[in-house]
Chain A
Amino acid sequence: QVQLQESGPGLVKPSQTLSLTCTVSGGSISSGSYFWNWIRQPAGKGLEWIGRIYTSGSTTYNPSLKSRVTISVDTSKNQFSLKLSSVTAADTALYYCARDALTYHSDGSGYSYYFDYWGQGTLVTVSS
């Protein structure tokens, strides 16, 4: 059973960089057709996708956050990480890491993606 666990500081000062790590257990981060994602949820609000990384290192980011986001992977530690720079109070949220299963459909309909495993989430508050 794959498990994901977020870790990192729960409090970050405005203008600084938020750094979180997701540790994957129960399977190798390098195996299979999976993307590794960061998703956040402000209190009382909906889900916002931040970005994802493939084990090759290829990344895709939410265009609204792209200028401030870096996602990286460390296959030797079975971890992937998030850095979000120049944070403000608007970045205060519950941050989740999640695995994105990739399936190719041979009927010509292309690929499908779905988040099949999620971490429990870690609350990050931006405040001085």
Chain B
Amino acid sequence: QSVLTQPPSVSAAPGQKVTISCSGSSSNIGNNYVSWYQQFPGTAPKLLIFDNNKRPSGIPDRFSGSKSGTSATLDITGLQTGDQADYYCGTWDSSVNAGRVFGGGTRLTVL
């Protein structure tokens, strides 16, 4: 069971917008920065968003992140079939079991 909670799957049609949520607590999301990763089958995860809402060079502005309280959100607008992948949120957990933590992942299906 993951420390951060994500919906197992989301789906939307091409061109639409989808939102992926990531819920945590004050020991992780509430007091630390969140990053998001995109993973296609058979490949390593790729950094999509860091510091809650910043995009690395080369990531389209269709991808955006935000954080409020103990939850974070990844929005993808103008969905493309090539966005079909697994998405993971991650952060640092400052509890007694300190360390890096991830959400369980969300599979995005572009219908």
Q: How many residues of B contact A (CB 8 A)?
A: 25
Task: Say yes or no: A115 contacts B99, CB within 8 Å.
Answer: no
A61 in contact with B99 given A115-B35, A116-B50, A118-B46 (CB within 8 Å): yes
Which one of B16-24, B77-85, B102-110 is at the interface?
A: B102-110
Instruction: Tell which of A46, A103, A114 touches B47, judged by Cβ atoms closer than 8 Å.
Output: A114
A58 CA to B81 CA in the complex, in Å? 43
Q: How many A-B residue pairs have CB under 8 A?
A: 67
A116 in contact with B105 given A37-B100, A46-B88, A47-B88 (CB within 8 Å): no
A115 in contact with B98 given A46-B88, A46-B103, A46-B104 (CB within 8 Å): no
| Prevailing SS type, chain A contact patch | strand
A112 in contact with B102 given A46-B88, A119-B44, A121-B44 (CB within 8 Å): no
Q: Can you name the residue of chain B whose Cβ is closest to the Cβ of A101?
A: B50
State how many angstroms separate the Cβ of A6 from the closest Cβ of chain B: 10
